[in-house]
Amino acid sequence: MDHFLYRDGALFAEDVPVNEIAASVGTPFYCYSTATLTRHFRLFDEALEPLDHLVCFAMKSNSNQAILKTLAELGAGMDVVSGGEYARAKAAGVPGDRIVFSGVGKTATEMRAALSGGIRQFNVESEPEMELLNAVALSMGVVAPVAIRINPDVDARTHAKIATGKSENKFGIPIARAKEVYARAAALPGLEVTGIDVHIGSQLTELEPFELAYKKVAELTQALRADGHEIRRLDLGGGLGIPYTRSNEAPPLPSEYGDLIKRTLGHLGCEVEIEPGRLISGNAGIMVSSVIYVKNGEGRDFLIVDGAMNDLVRPSMYDAHHDIIPVREPAPGTEQAPIDIVGPVCESGDTFAKQRDMPPLASGDLVAFRSAGAYGAVMSSEYNSRPLIPEVLVKGDQFAVIRPRPTFDEMISRDNIPEWLL
């Protein structure tokens, strides 16, 4: 469910007409709904009751300060994967004891920053990382709390580029070596082992892969406790998918996911952390774009819009589907026809949809790309020297620009000309 609905023939974001936002900030732009963010976070939080738990928002899906602050005020923790994301979380007012640091390539500089500013735990992904974190912690006279990420060799049945839990993926330590690695971690004086971490992939649309992985985690927890390790926290990652199409095949609900966690792991008495990103922010955002031209080609027509692959790269990168709808609701019975929806970037890959059935549209009409709140703005770039597009947050009948569009001068001023060219 989201809060982008037609009302009296016009698309609204909560109680704000989308065309009014477009008139104020120009297109293209991202628009997020506070009500949708709130609802989706609470669904996860309530799904884990009465377990001791923390819902950590996966910041890689959307790291705008206003989004982070909205979720932090609801009680969310943050899952970060870089020093920059850690700094953003802290700037949004998230305390260190609610920040989990994941990622395969943490540097000594990032480790020091998190140890200085406060951290709930590092999710350690390799033995070299474990050794470096121990050395950094000892040099600072502190102890680093860690969970070790286990690779359970479970097929998440998702897109190959977002699968993380199979043996050939770069993430985590093979579960077959877990006891050996935990023994080494326990011997390092700069580390405090707090638990187990697992994350098998993103955009999962069925629960069975989670169940397979979590049963392995339960068995490992008991084995490690038998070896004398105090396993008190289980970080179960994220990955629950969202419906990118308005079909009848909806992914599992957070409540069903929560029931699975309780059934497979609830008997262990551990604190549970989960790290959803896409399901919280994905359907909480749209990208709004204007039609530039309708072009008649050889055997097919093209709808050329002012949004491009640099603004929303998912279709080009993953062949991802986004529902695309007119901001002005078509009249009942309006005939639709297939058309390619493309952007202005000088790449054939700048294509959002091929032969998508759409109602008649003309230059200046607005369209909305649904489910664009996750992995949209955060993955955008200035390719073709196109400015990053604005982000807008709506709450009720109010809206605010939470990231402005830079001017060409602001973009160019970031370049430095060396002395020999002056």
Angle among Cα 164, 166, 171 to the nearest 5 degrees reads: 45
pLDDT of residue 170: 54
Residues 386-390 have a mean pLDDT of 98
Exactly one of 31, 56, 270, 346 is catalytic; which is it? Answer: 346
pTM (2 d.p.): 0.93
Distance CA 417, CA 104 (A): 35
* pLDDT tens track for 354-386: 999 999 999 999 999 999 999 999 999 999 999
pLDDT band, residue 162 (cuts 50/70/90):
very low
* Burial class of residue 249 in the structure, from the number of CB atoms within 10 Å of its CB (0-12 exposed, 13-18 middle, 19+ buried): exposed
What is the rounded CA–CA span in Å between residue 417 and residue 318?
A: 37
Helix/strand/coil (H/E/C) assignment for every residue in 2-71:
CCEEEECCEEEECCEEHHHHHHHHCCCEEEEEHHHHHHHHHHHHHHCCCCCEEEEEEHHHCCCHHHHHHH
The conformational region for residue 375 under phi > 0 = left, psi -120 to 50 = alpha, else beta, is left
Percentage of the chain modeled with pLDDT above 90: 87
Residue 400: strand pairing partners:
393
Task: Find the farthest-apart pair of alpha carbons in the chain and give their distance in angstroms, rounded.
Answer: 71
Q: Are 88 and 68 in contact (CB under 8 A)?
A: yes
pLDDT of residue 297 exceeding 90 = no
d(CA 307, CA 369): 10
Centre a 10 Å sphere on the Cβ of residue 26 and count the other Cβ atoms it contains.
14
* Residues 90 and 309: beta-carbon distance below 8 Å: no
The per-residue pLDDT for range 80-137, each reduced to its tens digit, is 999 999 999 999 999 999 999 999 999 999 999 999 999 999 999 999 999 999 999 9
Closest CA to 343 of 308, 319, 372, 370: 308
Residue labelled with tokens 């790449």: 347
33-281: what fold?
A: TIM Barrel (3.20.20)
Distance between CA 118 and CA 123 in Å, rounded?
Answer: 14
Please state, as a whole number, how many other Cβ atoms lie within 10 Å of the Cβ of residue 311: 28
Q: How confident is the model at residue 24 (pLDDT cuts 50, 70, 90)?
A: very high
Counting DSSP H helices and E strands in the chain, the numbers are 12, 21
The answer to whether 96 and 107 have CB atoms below 8 angstroms apart is no
Same fold, 4-31+282-412 and 33-281: no
Per-residue pLDDT band for 241 (boundaries 50, 70, 90) equals confident
Known catalytic residue: 56? no
Q: For the CA atoms of the chain, what is the radius of gyration?
A: 23
3-state secondary structure of 320: coil
For position 167, what pLDDT does the model report?
Answer: 46
- The pLDDT of residue 246 is 65
Q: Average pLDDT, stretch 213-233?
A: 96
Looking at residue 61, its pLDDT comes to 97
pLDDT for res 158: 46
Residue-level pLDDT at 205: 86
For residues 45 and 33, what is the distance between their CA atoms, to the nearest angstrom? Answer: 19
The predicted structure's pLDDT at residue 165:
40
Whether 18 has a pLDDT exceeding 50, the answer reads: yes
**Confidence grade of residue 65 (pLDDT, cut at 50, 70, 90):** very high
**Superfamily of chain region 4-31+282-412:** Lyase, Ornithine Decarboxylase; Chain A, domain 1 (2.40.37.10)
**Residue 156: per-residue pLDDT:** 52
pLDDT score recorded for residue 242:
87
State the pLDDT confidence band at 249, using cuts at 50, 70 and 90. low
Both structure tokens of 55: 């819902």
- What is the per-residue pLDDT for 169? 53
- CA separation for the pair 233, 53 (Å, rounded): 9
pLDDT of residue 421: 97
Domain locations along the chain: 4-31+282-412, 33-281
227 has which bridge partners?
none
Considering the chain, what is the average pLDDT of its residues? 94
Percentage, residues of the chain above pLDDT 70: 95
